[in-house]
Structure 1
Amino acid sequence: MTPVTSHSAAVAAWLAGADPHPRKVWAEWEQHGVALVPLGRRFDAVRVPAERMHAATGSDQPRIVADALRSWLAGPVLRDLRSSLGPYYVLIAPSAEWDGPEERLSTNVFLGVPRPGHPTMLTRWIVELPEPGRLCDTRYLRTLLALADPLRTVGR
């Protein structure tokens, strides 16, 4: 088990604050390791299919994908691990502009968020929040995903 640091505790507190009842999030993390956190208040998410993310990063190897996302986006990314095709969720500010083809999830949607520093079998942080409130810039996400189609064509 990963030790809990003051950094991951601060990030967890910020994430829990996305819910009007943060204690509910903490209780879900304690009981299940994953909490359903409402979007639209502190952050939104862009759902990116695994195939597209792997094409954009040039790999489906977890470490390579994580390194590429950390370098490109410098912000938090989750992945649904329930299948090998599980999508990636790029966390962005509710005020951020997004006009890409990938679905933006926001108000009235809940996202399964693992507690920082505590890996789970259902979902995992690919890139944890570098600090509370520091989210991905949609300009960098748009640029990264623009690479997916040309790289997919080259790989054929």
Structure 2
Amino acid sequence: MTHTDTPEAVAAWLASTAPAPDTAHEDWTTPLGGVAFLPLGVHFDAIRIPIGLIRAAAGSDNDPEITPVLEELLSGGPVLTDGYRWYHALVPLGTQKTWTRTDAQCVSDGTWLYVPHPTWTSCGISWAVPPTRVGATCTAADVVRLLERTQRTTGTTL
């Protein structure tokens, strides 16, 4: 059985990256799925992956079919999407220092990201794979595996 934390505990962890965590909590209470603007490089970095690469890896552009692929390939690590252009896999703090791939960008200090509440999984900026544990991230190795699957699926070398 996998350990999970309450959504409130995960939300508190995410909000703690902000200079004013209470503001993040307030932002999440706005109607229709509010998002908080949170800085990267505090508890985690993020790998920004173009939506086309995610769809190629999943062999689908249908969100209900993409999510299980992401869950499997990224070992259940948290991934959010804006629904239009990007997916962001949260990865351990410091990943940007060693990230060398050019098909997906690792972002950290100085970058802010719109982040939905951990329970928001539909419409617009939402979690494709929601965070279920405080401190949980995807591994960079799992993201590389996802990107390599894209290369195999599309036959491209990046």
Normalising to structure 2: TM-score of the pair? Answer: 0.85
In the alignment, which residue of structure 2 is the partner of 1:100? Answer: 101
Partner Cα separation in structure 2 for residue 19 and residue 105 of structure 1? 16
Could you tell me which amino acid in structure 2 is paired with residue 111 of structure 1? Answer: L
Could you tell me which amino acid in structure 2 is paired with residue 92 of structure 1? Answer: V
Partner Cα separation in structure 1 for residue 141 and residue 120 of structure 2? 29
In the alignment, which residue of structure 2 is the partner of 1:131? Answer: 133
Contact 2:45 2:90 in 1 (8 A): yes
Offset of 1:120 from its aligned partner? 5.8
- Structure 2 residue matching 1:31: 3-state secondary structure: coil
Could you tell me which amino acid in structure 1 is paired with residue 153 of structure 2? Answer: L
1:115 matched to 2:114? The reply is no
Offset of 1:22 from its aligned partner? 0.6
Contact 1:16 1:22 in 2 (8 A): yes
Unaligned runs of 5+ in 1: 1-5
In the alignment, which residue of structure 2 is the partner of 1:24? Answer: 23
Unaligned runs of 5+ in 2: none
1:7 matched to 2:6? The reply is yes
In the alignment, which residue of structure 1 is the partner of 2:65? Answer: 64
Could you tell me which amino acid in structure 2 is paired with residue 93 of structure 1? Answer: P
When residues 31 and 106 of structure 1 are mapped into structure 2, their CA distance, relative to the original with a 3 A threshold, is: same
When residues 119 and 61 of structure 1 are mapped into structure 2, their CA distance, relative to the original with a 3 A threshold, is: closer
In the alignment, which residue of structure 2 is the partner of 1:46? Answer: 47
Give the alignment's Cα RMSD to 1 decimal. 1.9
Contact 1:114 1:120 in 2 (8 A): no
Offset of 1:56 from its aligned partner? 1.5
Offset of 1:54 from its aligned partner? 1.1
When residues 114 and 98 of structure 1 are mapped into structure 2, their CA distance, relative to the original with a 3 A threshold, is: same
Percent sequence identity over matched residues? 32
Partner Cα separation in structure 2 for residue 109 and residue 60 of structure 1? 27
Partner Cα separation in structure 2 for residue 118 and residue 124 of structure 1? 6
1:91 matched to 2:93? The reply is no
Contact 1:77 1:88 in 2 (8 A): yes
Partner Cα separation in structure 2 for residue 21 and residue 125 of structure 1? 22
Offset of 1:148 from its aligned partner? 0.8
